[in-house]
Amino acid sequence: MSRILIIDDSSFQRGMVRRIVQESGYETIEASNGKDGLAMIDSEDIDCILLDLVMPEMTGVEVLEQLQAQHCSVPVIVVSADIQESTHDICRQLGALSIINKPVKKNELNTVLTEALGDKAEVSDVT
């Protein structure tokens, strides 16, 4: 089963995303800020990261910068309320595979997760 790391400071948003991801047959782990998220990426086996942008302590953009510097190969999907094209451009330049806007739509999230996970997505199909 693929393992998805959700990094978001909002417990409400983590709950909404967790529900969708788990219903789609994936396992989730969570971090409430960028620093804890980076620590989990180092220590845990993770197949995909769902990353918020505006967070206290360490922003999502800073997390992307760190991951790029570390040549991290785990795919990152940015999940943000920020709809600015300029922000989306920055995220893409820093290696984000996809960017989806909040509120998260189930179909949209599942589509980008399937793309991000590739072959790993097939083993996680649970109906």
| Residues found near other proteins in the complex (CB under 8 A) | 9-13, 15-16, 54-56, 80-87, 102-103, 105
Dihedral (Cα; 55, 17, 45, 118), 10-degree rounding: -120
CB of 45 to other proteins, least distance (A): 28
CB of 53 to other proteins, least distance (A): 9
Taking the least distance from each CB to other proteins, the nearer of 28 and 74 is: 28
Taking the least distance from each CB to other proteins, the nearer of 30 and 47 is: 30
Taking the least distance from each CB to other proteins, the nearer of 83 and 123 is: 83
CB of 122 to other proteins, least distance (A): 28
35: left (phi over 0), alpha (psi -120 to 50) or beta: alpha
Handedness of CA 106, 111, 115, 117 (dihedral sign): positive
Q: DSSP code of 106?
A: H
Residues 64 and 37 sit within 8 Å (Cβ to Cβ): no
Q: Which residues pair with 98 in a beta bridge?
A: 77
Taking the least distance from each CB to other proteins, the nearer of 9 and 65 is: 9
CB of 83 to other proteins, least distance (A): 4
